Amino acid sequence: MKKSSKKDEKKSWIDRFLADYSEVVAIGESLSPRVRYVSVSADEHQLTHIDEHRIEILKSLAPEFVRACIESGFVGADPHTVDVMYIVRECCDTSSPVLITGDRDTGKEVVANCIHRVGVRKNQTFVPVNCAGLSDQLLQSELFGHKKGAFTGAVNDKKGLVETAMEGSLFLDEVGDMGMGLQAALLRFLNDGSYTPVGTTEEKKSDARIIADTNQNIENLIKEKKFRQDLYYRLSEVEIPLRPLFMRPGDILPLVVSDLGI
């Protein structure tokens, strides 16, 4: 007997998940008394008349789109998560910058990856970089590249990640940790797509889409003069706040199903 591959197993549980999605959301409804929700069904006659706004959201999320979200790793059935899926659907085919906010381990990178994987840039590169793990000098070099001899250790020319992510998406993880000097260079890039590699005056262009996240309160950072207000406005053309899992009880069962592949 032919053994099923991991890919077949994944497809199998996703098919079952989608087939039973209305039941899963109904369970999420019972676990989340603050917000009553409705089932996801292709037959709109099965939609319970509870919340007109969310009914319209559910009707607009086609099974094919939900499948694409799940296959990218973004899984959930809580009202909050379905609302986020709707925002993802609305912004995934645009070039607008996206800022995802929330505590640690709320799935910010998962949502960022989903935005890329279900949108028009899905066949291009998704490039993540951790802004908190590098000094400003190294981060500037990583993002915009450098010329040989630009600083100690720059023994060769280096292409920046904004060039690597050309026509794709550049994910700035923990953008709130970026220094003020580098924020100015990022703002310039967001305004017109231009940047200058370290150690040169040559101006280059890239159309990489910027998706960023942070677990910090940006408004507080602005008050403390640690984050540029104009950069925040540009980054947050689309802003997606994520709740922690304990506030998304309807996601628990789908996540278990996803992790176990059952």
- 139-176 pLDDT, tens digit each: 999 999 988 877 777 778 889 999 999 999 999 999 99
pLDDT of residue 261: 63
What whole-number distance in Å separates Cα of residue 46 and Cα of residue 51?
14
The number of CA neighbours under 13 Å toward the Cβ of 85 is 28
Question: What digits encode the pLDDT tens for the residues 17-48?
Answer: 666 555 544 544 444 433 333 333 333 333 33
Centre a 10 Å sphere on the Cβ of residue 161 and count the other Cβ atoms it contains: 22
Centre a 10 Å sphere on the Cβ of residue 133 and count the other Cβ atoms it contains: 11
The CATH number given to whatever domain includes residue 215 is 3.40.50.300
Strands (E), the chain: 98-101, 126-130, 169-173, 194-195, 204-205, 209-214, 238-241
115 close to 92: Cβ distance less than 8 angstroms: yes
Say which residue the tokens 């086609």 belong to.
62
Q: How many domains does the chain have?
A: 2
Same domain, 4 and 46: yes
Q: Whole-prediction pTM value?
A: 0.81
The domain in which residue 202 lies consists of 97-236
Same domain, 120 and 181: yes
The number of CA neighbours under 13 Å toward the Cβ of 12 is 9
Same domain, 106 and 220: yes
Question: What digits encode the pLDDT tens for the residues 196-232?
Answer: 999 888 999 999 999 999 999 999 999 999 999 999 9
Question: What digits encode the pLDDT tens for the residues 73-120?
Answer: 998 878 888 889 989 999 999 999 999 999 999 999 999 999 999 999
Same domain, 51 and 155: no
- Dihedral angle over CA of 88, 257, 128, 182, nearest 10: 70
Same domain, 176 and 148: yes
Same domain, 121 and 183: yes
What whole-number distance in Å separates Cα of residue 124 and Cα of residue 1?
38
